[in-house]
Amino acid sequence: MYDLLIHNAWVVTVNAACDVIPDGMIGIHGDVIAHIGPKRPDVPPPAARETIDAGKGIVLPGLVNAHTHLPMTVFRGMADDLPLQAWLEDHIFPAEAAHITPHTVHWGTLLGCAEMLLAGITTCCDGYFFEDAVARAAAMTGIRAILGHGVIDFPAPGVPDPAENIRTATTFVRQWKNRSPLITPSIFCHSPYTCSDKTLARAKAAAVDEGVLFQIHVAETREETTRYDDRTPNGSLTARLARLELLDADTLLVHGVWLSPADIERIAQNACGIAHCPESNMKLATGIAPVTAFMQAGIPVGIGTDGCASNNNQDLLREMDITAKLHKVAGGDPTAMPAPQVMAMATRDGARAIGLGDQIGSIEKGKQADLVILDSTHPAMCPIYNPVSQAVYAGSGDVVRDTIVAGRVRVRNRTLVDGNIDEIMRQVRAIGRAIGKP
Amino acid sequence: MYDLLIHNAWVVTVNAACDVIPDGMIGIHGDVIAHIGPKRPDVPPPAARETIDAGKGIVLPGLVNAHTHLPMTVFRGMADDLPLQAWLEDHIFPAEAAHITPHTVHWGTLLGCAEMLLAGITTCCDGYFFEDAVARAAAMTGIRAILGHGVIDFPAPGVPDPAENIRTATTFVRQWKNRSPLITPSIFCHSPYTCSDKTLARAKAAAVDEGVLFQIHVAETREETTRYDDRTPNGSLTARLARLELLDADTLLVHGVWLSPADIERIAQNACGIAHCPESNMKLATGIAPVTAFMQAGIPVGIGTDGCASNNNQDLLREMDITAKLHKVAGGDPTAMPAPQVMAMATRDGARAIGLGDQIGSIEKGKQADLVILDSTHPAMCPIYNPVSQAVYAGSGDVVRDTIVAGRVRVRNRTLVDGNIDEIMRQVRAIGRAIGKP
């Protein structure tokens, strides 16, 4: 007898063979997938404590949002259409200095997690400040999250003295290690141009000591690359990062828009993952990451929405659609970045990139029961010829009907099961009004 | 006393001054906007036969989808990730020959219109075959539509003899002129490479005689441009079209990806409109249209979703987001294609491009009451700093709560008021199963 049974579904497994089961069912014991297979003709579905009829909808592995800044949800739409430096220096940094507190972090995180769960995102990989408040809020929502405390060589929210940045991050990691089955702590260095070599090396060493993921923005803008070259005149960005021993399988590089072929080769050799954030890169006009080259080199590449100040939503299904279309038009090849590849990025490959590939990212026996059911009654889901391309090209977060994390239903019939979304939005609106006042 | 009053709204007028009224109200008499202005403090809203509280949501002019092929909704997701010629010649053309009938056109159009109304699209500009069946179905849904009967120099659905193509299109126009206040007939030539010069000139002459919009795909692919050059060795594509007297204010050019600066200048001088279809152009990898140059030349540019075989949904709010982001990254400039410009494209400029600029496209006294209310309870609508960029960058069709066409509520609280969506989807699923069988 299963705890939860899902049936009457197109099951998109995203297993190694990319199997799709047209009339499939999934049995769950506790938080684990115990069975997956086709419905047996003329046999009623097996007994379960709870049974969900997917209504011939598409079931996907829970989506993995490989790069977020959850508290920045409170800045959604605060500053758009601006030059990059003005956006960052005149709007984002001052707003962070003035308004990022444990209170705003708490409510911004709750709204971000609610938005993501409603959009079928079961796992996110975050980096920000006051990450303890992020972790407390995220844990309340039941989302799976890797949460990295920020490290930067400037005064930051909650870390007024940069000399304390690595100690603060390490304290956070120790506080959250083995505390909640769904929360995994991490260390997040902002970037190679906002951290000294010493900070980078010490932060990575701390992550290695603690056995956690190390995250860092790299090569987001062309200008950054110039600066790196100044600092490492005889080498590339990644030569510098390799010398500092930053590159290994427990490092996630974010953006990577301006990585060179030599960089890509070095990253592949060192088994790092990459988080690709196409909407953020497009909106800030930083460029188009060479994702096809990443994949050809064998790098696991996930997709991230980035924070709400640069997107401005947290909808990975839309991000998947844009990923496919962007790389098709950029390469002049409509066969580039096909739907199954994008589906893998948003699930299995993203899970690998953030170090959870053995637990999540596909619908396979023994993996965590993180699942999404798309709503077959949404007009965009009609007709269905191929469920993978249907999800990628016609889907959106709003087509999600149910979201299940670790065997627990967190969104049912488009509604959050836990948490008071009205109260969360009321609080974030109040924060927005306070921020919006000059 | 108004027939309909909308209050408690951010009103995004898209008038010439792009006024936004933070706590606005709109009074409607019959199908016309009779009043627009701020709420008066301490005065209850005026009397009306029906009052809609927008719940502090954003109200936009009804969205104008400047290019659709409604019946192709039945082909949604049938053939993705393919080379362009294989997609067209091995999949789309054979499927059209085998499966496009008045029956499939009817149900495909009903689904397409339902999808669009639910996504806040109040007007679409369509071109296809069996357009009489399209018109009958569209009229049932209450959407506003310009519907062009297709003209092509090959056997086409419903027009087995190409010698009859212009007569068939003209008959359609005469049947639908002044028949329904919301349906405006038109003539739609497929393209300069699938129609002879004689056909192009005769089709446009018929459109001029009937006083209707002439639509044509132009310069969608680079290969087409080469063919045109062969046919007009001493001139550009638009020189040929100008010689055939195709270019005037009642002509809508669709795509225009490969238009040269000389083409753009000629189009502007002749006051044609352009429909930009970024998602279709990206998915088929045909290129990035020089939209900024179109606008600098003063051409009215609308946004179209294109048909469901090349997108694969009909969500203009998503198309707006992608329009802004695509042109930012293509130009390397985050200030390019700002949200207010994209909002104008999807409303006022699109209306001008399709010849309805005096009736729709902005929330102004005397214009048709085509309106969209975004749902302030959707997480992506929280917080709101700037309602225009909120709609463009955080919105999607699924954020639409209510859709009003000509003063009549067609979508209320995310649900179609008229029409049985379950039955429409059941029929389209059955059509899809028939098409999907080898």
Print the domain residue range for A401.
2-61+368-406
Using a CB–CB cutoff of 8 Å, tell me whether A425 touches chain B. yes
| Inter-residue contact A403 to A136 (CB < 8 Å) | no
Domain count, chain A: 2
Does residue A436 lie in a domain region? no
Q: Considering only CB atoms, which chain A residues are within 8 Å of B396?
A: 313, 315, 318, 396-398
Choose among A384, A396, A435: nearest Cβ to B77: A384
> Which residues between 125 and 184 in chain A have a beta carbon less than 8 angstroms from any beta carbon of chain B?
none
Q: Sorting pLDDT into bands at 50, 70 and 90, what band is A88?
A: confident
Using a CB–CB cutoff of 8 Å, tell me whether B322 touches chain A. yes
Please tell me the total number of residues recorded for chain A in this structure: 438
The rounded distance, in Å, linking the Cα atoms of A33 and A62 is 12
How do residues B325-354 score in pLDDT, each as one tens digit? 999 999 999 999 999 999 999 999 999 999
How do residues A343-382 score in pLDDT, each as one tens digit? 999 999 999 999 999 999 999 999 999 999 999 999 999 9
Which of A292, A327, A353 is the endpoint of a domain? A353
Query: What pLDDT does residue B85 have?
Result: 85
Query: What pLDDT does residue B41 have?
Result: 85
Verify that B190 and B318 share a domain, yes or no: yes
Verify that A30 and A113 share a domain, yes or no: no
Q: Considering only CB atoms, which chain B residues are within 8 Å of A313?
A: 380, 393-394, 396
| Inter-residue contact A382 to B421 (CB < 8 Å) | no
| Inter-residue contact A113 to B379 (CB < 8 Å) | no
Does residue A413 lie in a domain region? no
Does residue A196 lie in a domain region? yes
Verify that A269 and A328 share a domain, yes or no: yes
How do residues B225-280 score in pLDDT, each as one tens digit? 776 556 655 557 899 999 999 999 999 999 999 999 999 999 999 999 999 999 99
Q: Sorting pLDDT into bands at 50, 70 and 90, what band is B388?
A: very high
The rounded distance, in Å, linking the Cα atoms of B112 and B104 is 12
CATH number of the domain residue A402 falls in = 2.30.40.10
Give the mean pLDDT of B405-434: 97
Verify that B203 and B126 share a domain, yes or no: yes
Both structure tokens of A300: 């696991």
Query: What pLDDT does residue A235 have?
Result: 58
The rounded distance, in Å, linking the Cα atoms of B247 and B272 is 6
Choose among A74, A82, A329: nearest Cβ to B285: A329
Q: Sorting pLDDT into bands at 50, 70 and 90, what band is A141?
A: very high
Give the mean pLDDT of B406-414: 98
Does residue B344 lie in a domain region? yes
Verify that B392 and B331 share a domain, yes or no: no
Cβ of A285 within 8 Å of Cβ of B433? The answer is: no
Cβ of A74 within 8 Å of Cβ of B334? The answer is: no
Choose among B312, B379, B383: nearest Cβ to A394: B312
Q: Cα distance from B83 to chain A (closest Cα, Å)?
A: 6
Does residue B72 lie in a domain region? yes
Verify that A53 and A82 share a domain, yes or no: no
Please list the alpha-helical segments (H only) found in A144-196.
165-176
Q: Sorting pLDDT into bands at 50, 70 and 90, what band is A222?
A: confident
In this prediction, what percent of chain A has a pLDDT beyond 90? Answer: 92
Does residue B333 lie in a domain region? yes
Query: What pLDDT does residue B88 have?
Result: 87
Cβ of B77 within 8 Å of Cβ of A389? The answer is: yes
Cβ of B429 within 8 Å of Cβ of A318? The answer is: no
Does residue A417 lie in a domain region? no
Choose among A87, A282, A325: nearest Cβ to B329: A282
Give the mean pLDDT of A156-171: 97
Both structure tokens of B265: 């200048």
Please tell me the total number of residues recorded for chain B in this structure: 438
Verify that B49 and B108 share a domain, yes or no: no
Q: Considering only CB atoms, which chain A residues are within 8 Å of B311?
A: 393
Give the mean pLDDT of A110-122: 98
Query: What pLDDT does residue A41 have?
Result: 85
Verify that A132 and A151 share a domain, yes or no: yes
Verify that B13 and B119 share a domain, yes or no: no
Q: Considering only CB atoms, which chain B residues are within 8 Å of A305?
A: none
The answer, yes or no, to whether residue B196 has pLDDT greater than 90, is: yes
**Residue A25 phi, psi dihedral angles, 5° rounding:** -140, 155
> Which residues between 328 and 357 in chain B have a beta carbon less than 8 angstroms from any beta carbon of chain A?
328-329, 331-336, 338-339
CATH number of the domain residue A204 falls in = 3.20.20.140
Q: Is the ipTM of this complex over 0.85?
A: yes
How do residues B62-115 score in pLDDT, each as one tens digit? 999 999 999 999 999 999 999 888 998 999 999 999 999 999 999 999 999 999
Q: Cα distance from B308 to chain A (closest Cα, Å)?
A: 9
Verify that A397 and A254 share a domain, yes or no: no
Using a CB–CB cutoff of 8 Å, tell me whether A377 touches chain B. yes
| Inter-residue contact A308 to A76 (CB < 8 Å) | yes
Tell which residue, A400, A422, A204, A434, has the closest CA to residue A315.
A400
Tell which residue, B335, B372, B341, B355, has the closest CA to residue B143.
B372
Does residue B423 lie in a domain region? no
Q: Cα distance from A116 to chain B (closest Cα, Å)?
A: 9
Verify that B241 and B195 share a domain, yes or no: yes
Q: Cα distance from A236 to chain B (closest Cα, Å)?
A: 23
Give the mean pLDDT of A193-222: 96
How do residues B126-182 score in pLDDT, each as one tens digit? 999 999 999 999 999 999 999 999 999 999 999 999 999 999 999 999 999 999 999
Verify that A297 and A215 share a domain, yes or no: yes
Using a CB–CB cutoff of 8 Å, tell me whether A282 touches chain B. yes
The rounded distance, in Å, linking the Cα atoms of A204 and A187 is 8
How do residues B115-127 score in pLDDT, each as one tens digit? 999 999 999 999 9
Has this prediction a pTM greater than 0.90? yes
Query: What pLDDT does residue A40 have?
Result: 87
The DSSP 8-state label assigned to residue B253 in this structure reads E
